[in-house]
Structure formats: structure tokens, C-alpha cells
Amino acid sequence: MSLLVVGSVALDSVETPFGLKEDILGGSATYFSTSASFFTPVKMVAVVGEDFPQAHLDFLKGRGVDLEGITREKGRTFRWKGRYGWQLNEAETLDTQLNVFQSFSPKLPESYRDAQFVFLGNIHPELQSQVVDQVKGPKLVAADTMNFWINGSRPSLLKTLKRVNLLFVNDAEARQLSGEHNIVRAARAILGMGPQRIVVKRGEYGALLFDQEHIFACPALPLADVFDPTGAGDTFAGGFMGTLATAGRVDGEVLRRAMVMGSVMASFTVEKFSLERLREVERNDIRVRFSEFKRLTHFEELGPLDG
Amino acid sequence: MSLLVVGSVALDSVETPFGLKEDILGGSATYFSTSASFFTPVKMVAVVGEDFPQAHLDFLKGRGVDLEGITREKGRTFRWKGRYGWQLNEAETLDTQLNVFQSFSPKLPESYRDAQFVFLGNIHPELQSQVVDQVKGPKLVAADTMNFWINGSRPSLLKTLKRVNLLFVNDAEARQLSGEHNIVRAARAILGMGPQRIVVKRGEYGALLFDQEHIFACPALPLADVFDPTGAGDTFAGGFMGTLATAGRVDGEVLRRAMVMGSVMASFTVEKFSLERLREVERNDIRVRFSEFKRLTHFEELGPLDG
């Protein structure tokens, strides 16, 4: 079934101890779509500037991403500038320029309006709501957010959350949003705000899926080399939503598989810089890594004679 | 098979916002043994002072803990004093008095010397080594340590580690001991120091088991109320070692079950203050909670037609 994403498409410039990389393809919708594209075609809604290279659009198109919802506006593309120190595992943000995203007003092409699975990337809650206005009866509306909106646009976010079926947050965001320190209490509080399900992303500690009655815990793959965690959360969401859209349904078994697939995809992203690893990954790599996750977690139930 | 533990038996005094509890039973060997006692008889090696209440010894004996290795010395029992604030989830250490533990020299009774499974609780590495000297051909020697020994008695610890088959550490200890920040690299480095296996305890984030080729990840049970994490690590070790000793062997399947059982037992300990919850737990509670862990983590392998 169809999968729609609205989010940022960016040009990133990154300083490393080994040199400067400028204007490389980035953005939350980019990571999401590249990840999800292994599972299902993705319909993207975003805005880029006059300076956005055609080559990047060709890359996305080559991945089966539907670009009809991407508009090219006068002005510059959303830009992010970061710097990696010798730690090499997290970038320090030097500069963020919204540019054309400043006045972004998502308009869904007609062909997008019956998307069954919708991912509202991390943008202003009001814009997220506008996208929900334009889809007709999706099976699942999922959303991501960040401390910037939780703190700065809380009333708008709370309104939008009433229309969201599944929210992705990290530990800190869950705590900020709910006012609870304990993660179970935080999740329960957020479940009371609209979403029927919450995914709490915990970086190297894995992820938790909550609904009113159940919790599912999925680990992150322990890796000796975590090169660049940028985009891992969006990659996770892409693998997750891609799995749901492929299955065409939302039940316990599919949700669990979606959690693991999200973790599988994120485990690739962090292994190399930016989108490099995702560009190389093949479907068989995904199968193999999914099996690694099974081996990482599997244990037998107690037998009747066991203590 | 027999399980031996050497560690601290203590009298704890704790201030809470609701009052003062003095001289309650504590100590790493106490938590370990109480936990392990659900699975197998435990042989304890420790030292208490003249002031140690018989009632505490009776409690341990009632749990099937063999007290022949506990000596009563002139002087005061090891004492720990802590304070809980309104957070109620971690105690601040106000005072630690080694007392009779200052001159502790573990002497194993003859009946202890053929213990098959040995747990060297968190004491001076030299004393841990002395215990290994006194056992004849155990199947597995496991040990715990802490930053105090890693920093202050490193050469002695490194000597002892050569004689240890399995080391329990938390994230911070693994990093301190190895000098590596990445947890996989840290574990690999420690695997080069003697132990064939490492368990990295990560509190609310679960635990990881490493050997040269495999990693197993076990979650912690997400709990709405984490009342008192004191003793959780020792409780984990008790459930883990109790499971191995019951099975009488050390293979992949048993080790995984031991990890989960450790996590099961620790999940009880944190629910109430001190040993209170462990005192109440019954075997059926353990089975039920083990099943909860299965539900918390289980997912199906991909089918041939899956993406």
C-alpha cells in the first residue's frame, strides 16, 4: 500500500578532520524515503530551492520515490552545517537555515490523497496537520517531532497529536512532552494525548513500542564502529513505515517486525557517513541483518520442568 | 550443581522522606544469594561482626543458604548508610564503613571447595583471587567489580581477571576497564584480559552478553515504578548464576536463559525497598515474569516471501 512522507530535504555541509564535504544530500524525508524505498514506493512532499541539484532528485527517483509532491521554489534549499570532531560519532550543529522551508506550505498532489500510510516528518505541527487535512481515510498516520516544537509550539502540537495514530519520540522528547521522567509513565501520558501507539527511540539502547496494553522492546545492533548517527531516527521510521505499508495492515505481529526492520535499517545508516551506507545496501543485506537481530535476541520459553 | 558466592553482608541504614530505617539486611552477597536461592542452594563466604542479628542469619538459612562459610568476627559488621530524596529512585551514599571487612580473609570450608559455579562478588581483587585458589576445578568462575578496584587496584584486578571466566560490569566500568568508549570495543578488549564472556549491565536499558563470536541482548522490563535500584545488579547476578548452576552447564541456550532470569529477578528487586520484594516473590511469580519477557521481545523470523 502507498506510503507518504512530508519532511525536510536538505543540503548538508559537514566538516570532518579529513576535510570539508559541501552540499551533500540530507534531510529527514530523504533518510526516511531512502530507507522505506527498500520496501515500498514512497510519495514525498517537500520543498527545495533553485540550487537543489537535479542529481539528487534523480537519485530519489531512481529509488522509486514519487517526486510529484516536491516543489522547487525561488530561494535556497534548507541547509544544515555541522562539524565532526575526532570522536566522529556525533556532529555539532554549526548552522541551520530553513530557507525555502520557512514558507513551506505542503500541497498534496491528487494522486497522494489516498495514501494509506502517512509519515509526518519533524516539521511545524501546524504543517503536519495540514497534511492530515489533505489525505482521505489513511490506515495509519504516524508523526515525528522534536524538542523545538514541544517547547515552542506546544498547543499546536497537542492539537496535531489528536490526529496522530503513532508518535515517534526519543527518551528526552518523551519526557519533555509528558512531564514524566519514568519512560513507562511518559508513554502512558502521551497515549492519552491522541496516539494509540508510541515508539520511544533510545539510540544505542534500542527502541520501545507502547500501546495501552503491551510493550515491545527491540535492541539496537551493538556495533564496534558507529560512524555517523545522523539520520538514524528517520531511517528507523522509514524501515518501520515501509514494513507496515508492505504488509498493508497494522497488527501486533507486523508492528513487531516493523520495529525490528526499523532497527535493521538504522544499523546500516550509522555505519558510514551520511547516506553512503544506505546507498550501498541491497535487499539481501537487509535479510541477513534481520536474522542477526533474531540471533541477538532469541531465547526459549521455559519448559514445564524448568524452575 | 553447587553455587558459591563471596561478597559483602551488610547492615544498611537508610533515610527516606518517610523516616529512618536502621540496620536492615544488605550487602552484595545477600542480594545475590536471596536471588539465587530460588534456583539452587547457595554457599556463602562472608564476614559479619558481633552486632549482626541472628534473625538475618536465620533468614538466609531459611532460604537454603549454607552459612558455614560465614564467620563472625570481633568488631562491627560492614555498614552502609544512604539517603533517598523525593526522587526515590537512587540513594546517595552518606557513609561506608568496611569494619570487619577491612581484614577479611576468605577461608572456604572443605565442603565448599568443589563448588562448580563460583561468583566472586565485588571485593578486593586479591581476595577474589584467594577464593579461586581454594576451589578445585569449577565449571565457571564469574566475578563482579567496580570503579573503586578498576582505578585503585588495577594490577591486582588484571591478575585476577586472568582466572575469571565471566565478568559482570556496567557500561561505565566496561569503559574504565578497557579504555574504550564504544561498548563492543570495550567488551572485546576485556575479553582479551582473561574472561571468555562479559555481561554488560545497563540498568533500565537491559544487559548484553558478549563472547568472542556472539552477542545476546536482553532488555530490562520497563516499569512504571522503579522504587529502589539498590542490589539490582547483584540480584541479576544471582538469577543468572542460579540458572547456570541449576542447568549444570554453560552453553548458548542456558546462558541466554540465565540473562533473562537475571533480568527477571532484578525487575522484582527494584519494585520495592531493599530486599522487601525478593522476600515476597514466589516461584510462580518468576515463571509469570519470564513469560512477560518473552512477550516483551519475541518476533517472528522473516518468511521466504517477506521483503
Q: What is the pLDDT of residues B154-188, one digit of tens each?
A: 999 999 999 999 999 999 999 999 999 999 999 99
Listing DSSP states for B206-258 in one string gives -EEEE-SS-EEEEPPPP-S-----TTHHHHHHHHHHHHHHHHT---HHHHHHH
Tell me if residue B157 falls in helix, strand or coil. helix
A287 touches chain B (CB under 8 A): yes
Q: Which amino acid is at A185?
A: R
Q: Which pLDDT band, with edges at 50, 70 and 90, does A215 fall under?
A: very high
Cell numbers 545488579: residue: B233
Three-class secondary structure of residue B196 per DSSP: coil
- Is A307's pLDDT higher than 60? no
- CA dist A3 and A5 (Å) reads 7
Mean pLDDT score, A168-178:
95
pLDDT band at B147 (very low <50, low <70, confident <90, very high): confident
- Kindly report, residue by residue over A28-68, the tens digit of the pLDDT: 999 999 999 999 999 999 999 999 999 999 999 999 999 99
Nearest to B296 among A185, A215, A246 (CB): A215
Q: Which residue has the cell 500501546?
A: A211
- pLDDT-derived band at A193 (thresholds 50, 70, 90) equals very high
What is the reported pLDDT for A92? 82
pTM over 0.90: yes
A-chain residues within 8 Å CB-CB of B259?
A: 299
Distances (CA, A) of B290 to A307, B118, B200, B284, B296: 11, 24, 20, 10, 10
d(CA B77, CA A209): 46
For residue B285, is pLDDT > 90?
Answer: yes
> Is residue B268 scored above 70 in pLDDT?
yes
Task: Tell me if chain B has a CB within 8 Å of the CB of A183.
Answer: yes
The whole-angstrom separation of Cα A187 and Cα A210 is 7
Q: Tell if the CB–CB gap between A226 and B182 is shorter than 8 Å.
A: yes
- Report CA B103 to chain centroid distance, whole Å: 22
Question: Which band of pLDDT confidence, cut at 50, 70 and 90, is reported for residue B153?
Answer: very high
How many angstroms separate the CA atoms of A213 and A300, rounded?
23
Residue A152 near chain B (CB below 8 Å): no
Cα–Cα distance for residue pair B255/B264, rounded to 1 Å = 14
Q: Is the pLDDT of residue B88 over 90?
A: no
Q: Who among B188, B202, B217 is closest to A296 (CB)?
A: B217
Contact A272, A68 (CB under 8 A): no
Q: How far apart are CA B117 and CA B4, in angstroms?
A: 6
Mean pLDDT (whole number) for B221-226:
90
A297 Cα to chain B: minimum distance (Å): 5
Mean per-residue pLDDT, A257-275: 94
Give the strands of the sheet with A78-84, arranged side by side.
A19-26, A10-16, A78-84, A91-97
Mean of the pLDDT values across residues B101-121? 95
Residues B280-291, mean pLDDT to the nearest whole number: 96
The DSSP element (H or E) to which B290 belongs, if any, is helix B283-297
The answer to whether residue B148 scores a pLDDT higher than 70 is yes
Helix axes B252-269, B232-247, angle to 10 degrees: 140
Per-position b or e across B182-197, b if 16+ CB within 10 A of its CB: bbbbbbbbbbebbbeb
Give the minimum alpha-carbon distance from A307 to chain B in angstroms, rounded to a whole number. 7
Query: B300 CB near a chain A CB, below 8 Å?
Result: yes
| Lookup: cell for B235 | 540480584
How much is the pLDDT for A282?
96
Q: A294, B299: Cβ pair inside 8 Å?
A: yes
Answer whether A304 touches B (CB < 8 Å). no
CB A14 within 8 A of CB A81: yes
Residue B68 CB contacts under 8 Å (≥ 6 apart), including other chains: B43, B109, B111, B112
Q: How close A182 comes to chain B (CA, Å)?
A: 6
CA distance A132 to A115: 10
Which chain B residues have a beta carbon less than 8 Å from that of A188? 224
Question: Interface pTM (ipTM) of the complex?
Answer: 0.89
Q: What is the pLDDT of residue B27?
A: 94
User: Residue type for A218, please?
Assistant: C
Yes or no, beta carbons of A296 and B183 under 8 Å apart: no
Nearest residue of B to residue A218, measured between CA atoms: B297
Distance from C-alpha of B204 to C-alpha of B219, rounded to nearest angstrom: 8
User: What pLDDT score does A15 carry?
Assistant: 83
Mean pLDDT, chain B, as a whole number?
Answer: 93
DSSP A300: P
Report CB contact under 8 Å: B222, A215.
yes
Which residues from B are below 8 Å from A300, CB to CB?
Answer: 253, 256-257
Every domain of chain A and the residues it spans: 3-297
What per-residue confidence (pLDDT) applies to B227? 79
- Rounded distance, CA B69 to CA A9, Å? 67
pLDDT at B82: 86
Instruction: Provide mean pLDDT across the span A159-180.
Output: 96
Residue B209 pLDDT: 98
Report yes or no: B248 at the A interface, CB cutoff 8 Å: no
Which of A142, A212, A219, A146 has the alpha carbon at shortest distance from A184? Answer: A212
What integer best gives the mean pLDDT of chain A?
93
Rounded alpha-carbon distances, angstroms, from residue B249 to A175, B133, B139, B254: 43, 22, 8, 7
* Residue A3, pLDDT above cutoff 90: yes
Q: How many CB atoms lie within 10 A of CB A177?
A: 24
> Which residues are within 8 A (CB) of A123 and not within 5 positions of it... i.e. 6 or more apart?
A6, A7, A8, A101, A104
What's the pLDDT at A59? 96
pLDDT, average across residues B63-70:
96
Q: Which of B39, B183, B214 sits opposite A307 (nearest CB)?
A: B39
Topology given in CATH for the domain delimited by B3-297: UDP-N-acetylmuramoyl-L-alanine:D-glutamate ligase (3.40.1190)
Residue B129: how many CA atoms within 13 Å on its side-chain side? 13
Cβ-Cβ contacts under 8 Å, A306 against chain B: 257
A79, pLDDT greater than 70: yes
Residue B86 has pLDDT above 70, yes or no: no
Across the range B30-58, mean pLDDT stands at 97
Chain A residues inside the 8 Å CB shell of B202: 205
Confidence of residue A182 (pLDDT cuts 50, 70, 90): very high
Query: Which residues of chain B make contact with A294, given a CB cutoff of 8 A?
Result: 299, 301
For residue A90, what pLDDT band results from cuts at 50, 70 and 90?
A: low
Which is higher by pLDDT, A82 or B135? B135
CB contact under 8 A, A296 and B257: no
Q: For position B158, what pLDDT does the model report?
A: 98
